[in-house]
Each structure stands twice: as C-alpha cells, then as structure tokens.
Amino acid sequence: MYNEYDKESFFKEYARMPRSRDGLAAAGEWHQLKPLFPPLAGKSVLDLGCGYGWHCRFAADQGAARVLGIDVSRNMIEEAGRRNADPGIEYRVCGIEEYEYPEHAWDVVVSNLALHYIADIGQVFKHVYRTLKPGGTFLFNIEHPVFTAGVGQDWIYREDGTPQYWPVDDYFKPGERKTHFLGCDVVKQHHTLTQILTGLLDAGFKLNAVEEAKPPEEMLNLPGMRDELRRPMMLLVKAEA
C-alpha cells in the first residue's frame, strides 16, 4: 500500500512540523480533543493511523491497560517506537483498511488526522462499531469537509502573497483530491459532512459531540495562525457504540 509518509522527503518535512517536534501541546486541536477523551484508566485503546504515537502515549500515561497503535507507514511506526515507547503500548505496521477489527475488543478507538486518507470511510465506521465494546467510545479528528473540498487545499492569494480567500469546489463530489502538502504531491479523500455524520449513524453510533477545531488563543500570534480562523480545517467527533 503506497503511503506518502514512507517517502523520505515528505517524512523529513513532517518531522519539522511543530506537532512533530513538540507533540500534543503544539497541535492546534489538542485543547478541544483532550477534554473529549473518556477516562482511560484500565481501558483498552486502539489508535488508527497513530503516526509518532502521541495519542497512544497519552492513553498509557492516563493508565490505559492496553494500547495498540496501527499505521500503514513503517517510518512512522519506527518513529513511534523511538519517541513514544511504553511497556503498555504495541505499535504495528498495518493499514486502517486491513486491520481485523475483532468483535467487542476495545473500550476506546481514537484516530487523529488519518481518516481523510481513507476512501471508504463508511466501511471503517462499521468496522470500528463492531470492534468497540457496547458503550465504547470512538473519538476522531478528520480534515474538515470545507478543507478537503479546497481547490488543491490552498488559498487564493493576493498579489502581495497574503491569503485572499479559501476556494471550495466540487463539494458534493466525494473522493480523491490531489493536494500539495509539505512540498509533496499528496492524495487525500474528500468526504462530505453528510457522509461522515450519516455514516456514523448508519453504522449504529450515537453522536456525543461534534466540534470544529479553532486554534487556541496562545497560538494566534504565531505566523499564519490568524488565517486559521477564516475557514475550518479539522472536524472532531465523539461517538458512542
């Protein structure tokens, strides 16, 4: 399975991002995502597209009994083992589409910024519903449909190089989007809001929370961050099996 994160140039650029250097504290959505986590002490937690393993480490630090982080990228899983190893965490190279999703196996399934790489998101929701114990929590953060429907996922710029507006096109046409991210051509998947929310309801979930991430006050003076208030970039959802 091809993955950009296994391409050396992309992997190196990703390592330079604030969230890669400084972890969850540097992630613009963390102040909204963290309070949505249920108590994790003694719980089993599955992380889909775990990357460097920051959320796995968080779960282990909260006292989770068992944590499994899966990711399709060998690079990312190796980095997770270097940065966020813990005796209670297993990291595994495995695609979100390929994982076996054993029935009623997990208390919590988390996924941060990975599901916009998945074409058939409805199928993943069904799998997650099956693998959660009844009453279990599915907490995820996905690129917002307004962001994934962006044209090339970029602003239209004024002559002086400042962002003029965020273009949205072909919103109702879900599927592949060719984007330019971290200097590389990256393929992502656009899902409409209806697809995401109805997909969860059709799988059997109850919706507990839906939030659109905004950067916290303390990040707003960082370069470019004020523009992050002009269009949504991330959608946070908490659902109950």
Ligand X SMILES: C[S@@+](CC[C@H](N)C(=O)[O-])C[C@H]1O[C@@H](n2cnc3c(N)ncnc32)[C@H](O)[C@@H]1O
Contact status, residue 113 vs residue 153, Cβ threshold 8 Å: no
Q: In the bound complex, what is the minimum distance in angstroms from residue 241's beta carbon to ligand X?
A: 21
Asked if 189 is part of the footprint of ligand X (rule: CB under 6 A), the reply reads no
- How many chain residues interact with ligand X (CB under 6 A)? 19
Binder of ligand X out of 44, 84, 112, 148 (CB under 6 A): 112
**End-to-end alpha-carbon separation of the chain, Å?**
29
Q: Name the residue nearer to ligand X (CB basis): 30 or 205.
A: 30
Asked if 153 is part of the footprint of ligand X (rule: CB under 6 A), the reply reads no
Binder of ligand X out of 59, 64, 96, 234 (CB under 6 A): 96
Asked if 71 is part of the footprint of ligand X (rule: CB under 6 A), the reply reads yes
User: Which stretch, 91-99, 153-161, 194-202, 214-222, contacts ligand X (CB under 6 A)?
Assistant: 91-99
Binder of ligand X out of 26, 36, 113, 219 (CB under 6 A): 113
Could you tell me the two tokens for 51? 């990357």
Tell me which residues touch ligand X (CB under 6 A).
3, 5, 49-52, 54, 71-73, 76, 95-97, 112-114, 117-118
